[in-house]
Chains A and B, each alone.
Chain A
Amino acid sequence: MQYVTRESAFHRLHPFTKLIFAVVVVALAVLTSDTVMLAALVGAVLAAAAIAGLARDLLRQVPLLLMLAASLLILTVLTIQSGETLGYLVPSAVPVIGGAFPVTAGAVDLALAMSLRFAAMIFAFQVLVISTQPRDLVHVMDRLRMPVDYTLMFLIALRFIPSLQLEGKRIHEAQLARAYNPGRGPAGKVRGLFPILIPLVANSLGKATILGLTIDLRGYRSGMRTPMRDLSPGRADIAGICCMGLLVAGYLALLLV
């Protein structure tokens, strides 16, 4: 998840407008547990991204979201029993342990609501990140008087995502060239992670020191930030905020009905 150089409607918006968009979506997502409302919210975010030509970038997160949804479903089924019983994780026909771990409607509903909530939040955050240069986000956070340490932590976190991916890929290739073969079975898989994780952590820690020094040396604590580009909001921002207003109003109206 990182900035993508492209000409899209979202790219043209003021970073502050996009930040408001992300915050609004997150707020709406936590306001309700209604799966229909949450699905509509995810749909609205995806539709906005599709209009701006960013849907393909967002859909890359779908495998991750499906894994998250599966994990949440297992977790809720194992921990929550409420409502109608839809079935059992261990079929009733199995001797002795048959009928264990009932799958209830309440558990499924909660897992679905949480999955949709995460999807809305992740999609909204991704729209913000892929359409906004990190330095513009820093400017906005600066204007919002966020403490500089938090701003820089956010900047470093954004920076480390692609960096870790790249370093992980490089290490994986280096170990593959030594005929590395991830182990079989759960224990083997865990052992197989060491040749990747150990160099990844060690190398990343080494780079973190230089990254921190570089940020300091480039004057990110100077408090004299002047954006190189004109970051004044335009008509598109007004239109975008109006659309968000309508979305919020419609959403709240439906919630209150």
Chain B
Amino acid sequence: MTPETVLSLADVSYTYPGSESPALSRINLDIRRGEIVFVTGPTGAGKTTLCLAASGILHHDYGGILEGSMTILGKDVRDYPGMAGIGRNVGVVFDDAEAQLIFSTVEEEVASGLENLGLSREEMHRRLRHVMEATGIVDLADRAPHTLSGGQKQRVAIAATLALGTGILILDEPTAELDAEATGAISALLRRLSEEGTAVLIVEQKLDDLAGIADRMILIEGGVVTREGIPGEVLQRPEGAVRPPAPQREGAAAPIISIRGLTHRYDGVTALEGVDLDVAPGEIVAIVGENGSGKTTLVKHFNGLLRPTAGSVFVDGLDAATTRVSDLARHVGLVFQNPDTMLFAETVEEEVAFGLLNINPGGPQATGVDAALREVGLLHRKAAYPRSLSRGERQRLAIACVIAMRPKVIVLDEPTTGLDARESAEIMAILGRLRRDGHTIVMVSHDMRLVENYADRIIRMEQGRIVPDGRTLEEEPCPRLCSTSPGRAPFTASTRSPN
């Protein structure tokens, strides 16, 4: 440990209450003043637990078995008066942004910590303005945090932590839901803070966007640091993605989703404005755009969870503006971003059977359940408790719940958020197989590398509108798929040459 070391973990091991195997094993980590340390690794490797350990939380507020020692600014972590004392020196952004938002407006949220530091009003206002500008949330100042999009919430959570001005920052997947622009802004901000002396520990899966600012990278697997060094040495690129082949089609197929002039307003906010879109059967369409651009609002119209303020939405020939949600569910399935939103049953099998029972009460379920679980590779976990599965397995289970109902259209909202490269590839392989079986896939994502690798067509949204953009399977100059304006030829399967 050098005099410049601000945070040090020595032989730290930790086992969660009720668990038999340790989540962390003999972790040794020193972080120097102004250093940015990037931690990556597969889902379930112990990255979040490492964040909890490095922020002193395991030493104060958790049960379980903890071994080893830790210092913050040279002082033993146990000598700090609880988390309040540690909070004066360490700022933490947890992976669940929403859970960190306490107050009723964004400005109040960011200001809340400042008011507890004994600063002058002038200094508080200066910091508040600076942080809100740096994180791009000035225009959200009066919004209620719980009404924001996932990415906006994440920016507010980061801002509220940065405002504290701690010398050590610990960030657990801080940009998981951010678009490229916002991620770039956060990245630049962290670099600047490190130059001013702030030590930063970042856990992240998005290697491309953030690893570039790291001074050091740590790979953690199974609770053990397996590799450590400069980012270029540690990074191992996943193998190139293989785009799932497009189905062979003859002639132009009628669009399975047809949207004309879709506008959606709520509480005085125009979330969608004059959206036109056709999706052909068998396509994989990605919808991208900045946080709050209306992506999720758009796809919720497909299965009737939202109804148009104006315009029309037809899915598989049904008017989604008037058809009951339960009837639309037979034609279009929606997989939510967070699988925990839906999991309630005692076993994986019951969880998948739930949807089948809803659309076909009393009918045979076993075959459909098994087929769906086999499709996502979870047949062997049939009897498991759904919430005990790993994050990636829960995401696959959520997909199984939807595909068991055999909808023609499957919509996925950010299907790979929080998943590592291998799990993301597994999800995309499942989607490829579903497309091969004739399903149409629409996915909302901000991961450009993912959608460029797998989608036939990219729809870009900005401020509730679709902007012309995209590309085809053949990387042709776009014909251009976002044939979203009336009068343009719709992009259908026939405009692409099947592989």
Residues of A within 8 A of B (CB): 2-3, 5, 133-135, 139, 155-156, 159, 162-163, 166, 170-171, 173-181, 194-196, 198-199, 202-203, 206-208, 210-222, 224-228
Q: List 28 A-B contacts (CB under 8 A).
A: A133-B103, A134-B103, A135-B103, A139-B115, A159-B103, A170-B336, A170-B341, A173-B305, A177-B303, A177-B336, A178-B329, A178-B358, A179-B325, A179-B355, A195-B354, A199-B340, A206-B340, A208-B99, A213-B57, A214-B99, A216-B82, A216-B83, A217-B84, A217-B113, A217-B164, A222-B117, A224-B117, A226-B117
CB <8 Å contact, B84 and A219 = yes
Which of A156, A203, A214 meets B100, CB within 8 Å?
A214
Report Cα–Cα, A56/B330, bound state, in Å.
Answer: 40
Which of A175, A216, A226 meets B84, CB within 8 Å?
A216
CB <8 Å contact, B115 and A228 = yes
Please name all residues of chain B whose beta carbon is closer than 8 Å to the beta carbon of A214 when the two chains form the complex: 94, 99-100, 102
Please name all residues of chain A whose beta carbon is closer than 8 Å to the beta carbon of B341 when the two chains form the complex: 170-171, 174, 199, 203
- Nearest CB on A from B398, distance (A): 9
CB <8 Å contact, A135 and B108 = yes
Residue of A at shortest CB range from B342?
A174
Q: Is the interface of A mostly helix, strand, loop or mixed?
A: helix
CB <8 Å contact, A178 and B82 = no
Q: Mark B96-111, 1 if CB is under 8 A from A, else 0.
A: 1011101111001001
Give the residue among A5, A178, A213, A219 with the most B Cβ atoms within 10 A.
A178
Which of B91, B111, B146, B164 meets A135, CB within 8 Å?
B111
Q: Mark B33-53, 1 if CB is under 8 A from A, else 0.
A: 000000000000000000000
Size range of the chain B interface in the assembly:
35 or more
Residue of A at shortest CB range from B103?
A134
Give the residue among A170, A203, A219 with the most B Cβ atoms within 10 A.
A219
CB <8 Å contact, A219 and B116 = yes
CB <8 Å contact, B83 and A226 = no
Which of A155, A179, A217 meets B358, CB within 8 Å?
A179
- Nearest CB on B from A23, distance (A): 22
B433: Cβ under 8 A from any A Cβ: no
CB <8 Å contact, B125 and A207 = no
B121: Cβ under 8 A from any A Cβ: yes
Which of A177, A178, A210, A228 meets B94, CB within 8 Å?
A210
Q: Known A176-B329, A177-B329; judge A222-B116 contact (CB<8 A).
A: yes
Residue of B at shortest CB range from A155?
B102
Q: Known A2-B144, A199-B343; judge A159-B100 contact (CB<8 A).
A: no
